[in-house]
Amino acid sequence: MESQFLAVLCEARGGRLVEELGERLSELVGDVRETGRAGSLTIVLSLKSLGKGDGRALSLETAVKSKRPEPERGLTIFFATDDNQLVRNDPKQLRIDEAVETPEPEVARPALRKVE
Which tens digit of pLDDT belongs to each residue from 21-79?
A: 999 999 999 999 999 999 999 999 999 998 877 878 999 999 999 999 988 888 899 88
This prediction has a pTM of 0.60
Q: How many residues in total does the chain contain?
A: 116
Residues 54 and 98 sit within 8 Å (Cβ to Cβ): no
Q: Would you say residue 48 lies in a domain?
A: yes
Residues 78 and 86 sit within 8 Å (Cβ to Cβ): yes
| pLDDT of 106 above 80 | no
Q: Would you say residue 36 lies in a domain?
A: yes
Number of domains in the chain: 1
Q: Would you say residue 84 lies in a domain?
A: no
Residues 19 and 27 sit within 8 Å (Cβ to Cβ): no
Q: Would you say residue 14 lies in a domain?
A: yes
Say what the pLDDT of residue 96 is: 74
- CB-based contacts of 56: which residues, under 8 Å, 6+ apart? none
| pLDDT of 2 above 70 | no
Q: How many CA atoms lie within 13 A of 21 on its CB side?
A: 16
Provide the residue range defining the domain that includes 54: 4-67
**Biggest distance spanned by C-alpha atoms of the chain:** 131
Q: Would you say residue 38 lies in a domain?
A: yes
Q: Would you say residue 32 lies in a domain?
A: yes
